[in-house]
Amino acid sequence: MSGAHAHEVVVGGVGMHPFGRFDGLTTTDMGVAAVRAALTDAGIGAGAAEGGFQAAFCGTAYGGVASGHKVLGRLGMTGMPIVDVEAGCASGGAALMIAAGAIRSGQYDTVLVFGLEKMPRGIIRSSFFEPWQEAAGMAATPAYFALRAQRLMRESQVTKEHLAAVVVKNRRHGAHNPDAMFRSEVDARAVLGSRVVCEPLHLWMLCTPNEGAAAVVLTTAGQSRGAVRLRSAVLRSHVPGSVLSESTPMAGLADDTIPSPTTRAAVAAYEEAGIGPEDLDVVECQDTDAARELLSYEELGLCKPGGAAALLDEGATMLGGRLPVNPSGGLLSKGEPLGASALGQVVELVRQLRGDAGPRQVEGARVAMSHTVGRGANAGVVVLSS
Amino acid sequence: MTAAPPGYTGPVPYGFGVVELPEGVRVVTRLTEPDPARLENGQPMKLTVVPVGADESGSPVVTYAFSPV
């Protein structure tokens, strides 16, 4: 997608339903709330229907049949193409990529992108795994996270204390986010005192699957002057062979040079946006577990390979540091509703770039990146700028 | 792994790791040793079979695993 862009894409509006547990609400209820907020933010009134947006893409992994139609049906805003998009943790990123491409190509002027989810409690049960894998104890998602964490610790200066420090940092940020599930600070001792799920990962180092919704209106620059620009929205899957890739293979090659899905997506996103890591002011990245955030520092090029511990130690990624990561509190504070999580990051970054992030504002933020990665494998990277 | 993942009724904790075969293939596998402190990166392992519960008819279900040599 590099080269001349016939139509520049901007963010016309954003909206969110908080992430958490909402026993009295359906997935559709939450989706309606997020979409209504985003449309209001974009100045698209009720009854605008196809005049307001010409297509809608809905990210969800657990939503079931016609999740997007159920939300827009409730709002009486149907008639345009409504397509559900599933790409695991990156579902929202995938929906955003499709919408942005359609606007750039001139197919549509304005597209509604939203994501919603109501996750089962506990370790994620996924149809990705075959019955034999479940029976054999191989559908152990935290164990795959733990293997990646162990490799990171073996190959770099990262220690268990660094993993705890990521949780402390993100929970401190999340205390200022009214859309987060956990809004209390924690200390390292409490994190390391929570039970071990799979060494080295303690319970509090793992994000909580939960519920929520987020929505973004994308449009052409001419329709919304001065708005946040979408510089790139990239999705990549894994290349075969890597045994610890998020593709969760049962076997792979003894080859440590295979690039990760995140690295591939990030390289493409930087190229498409025409920027490099040194241009970023703020990042929202996939902290499904504490080690995953540190891996992302490396894979997104925020530091050199092996440099994640030092970047964290110097305070660079804390609010007030030179490159705050997860000012929203990340998934460790917000929890993770799969279909909504990538768009939740984009909502946060748009607020940051507008200067609307309140006590968690990254001062002077002009260029921002979001990142999600999960099963498939799917890695989504988005670059935004003011 | 200290908690039973979805669909699993076998014993916990259980070991989980990556074993590299001489042919250049790495296998994600259960390990018979559940205590990571008693495992060392690079140590020799051998293939074995472990019980992981029973099916609906009560027949035992087994799967592959690797154990320290």
pLDDT confidence bin for B63, thresholds 50/70/90: very high
* Contact in structure between A58 and A73 (CB atoms under 8 Å): no
Q: What are phi and psi of B67, to 5 degrees?
A: -125, 155
Which of A137, A252, A255 has the CB atom closest to B8's CB atom? A137
Evaluate if residue B28 carries a pLDDT over 80.
yes
How much is the mean pLDDT over chain A?
95
In a domain, B8, yes or no: no
Provide CB contacts within 8 A for A353, sequence distance 6+: A228, A365, A366, A368, A384, A385, A386
Higher pLDDT, A221 or B67: B67
pLDDT tens digits for A7-22? 899 999 999 999 999 9
Q: How confident is the model at residue A325 (pLDDT cuts 50, 70, 90)?
A: very high
- The pLDDT of residue A1: 44
Residue A4 pLDDT greater than 70, yes or no = no
Asked if the structure places residue B44 within a domain, the reply is yes
Q: Is residue B10 part of a domain?
A: no
All domains in chain A, ordered by first residue = 9-123+212-223 (3.40.47.10), 136-207+230-385 (3.40.47.10)
Q: Provide the pLDDT for residue A124.
A: 81
Active-site annotation holds for A58: no
Identify the domain containing residue B64 by its residue range: 15-68
Please, what is the angle between helix A338-354 and helix A91-104, to 10°?
Answer: 60
Query: Which of A135, A141, A249 lies closest to B53 in CB terms?
Result: A135
For residue A140, which residues of chain B lie inside 8 Å, CB to CB? 1, 5, 8, 16
Nearest to B1 among A132, A198, A250 (CB): A198
pLDDT level of residue A46 (50, 70, 90 thresholds): low
Question: End-to-end CA distance of chain A, in Å?
Answer: 21
| Segment A173-203, tens digit of pLDDT | 999 999 999 999 999 999 999 999 999 999 9
Instruction: Provide the pLDDT for residue A324.
Output: 98
Per-residue confidence band for B46, with pLDDT thresholds at 50, 70 and 90: very high
pLDDT band (50, 70, 90) for residue A218: very high
Chain B residues with CB under 8 Å of A141 CB are: 5
Question: φ and ψ at A185, to 5 degrees?
Answer: -75, 155
Confirm whether B57 is domain-assigned.
yes
Do residue A137 and residue B61 have CB atoms under 8 angstroms apart?
no
Give me the interface pTM, i.e. the ipTM.
0.96
| Torsion (CA) A125, A295, A263, A301 in degrees, nearest 10 | 150
Q: Are B51 and B59 in contact (CB under 8 A)?
A: no
Total domains present in chain B: 1
Q: Is the pLDDT of residue A250 over 90?
A: yes
How many angstroms separate the CA of residue B61 from the nearest CA in chain A?
Answer: 8
Distance from CA of B69 to the nearest CA of A (A): 21
Cβ neighbours of residue A257 closer than 8 Å, sequence gap 6 or more:
none
Residue B2 lies in a domain: no
pLDDT level of residue A125 (50, 70, 90 thresholds): confident
A91-104 confidence digits (pLDDT tens): 999 999 999 999 99
Q: What is the pTM of this model?
A: 0.96
Positive or negative, the CA dihedral A252, A253, A256, A258 is negative
Residue of B nearest to A151 (CA): B41
Contact criterion met (CB < 8 Å) for A254 and B24: yes
Cβ contact, residue pair B5, A140, below 8 Å: yes
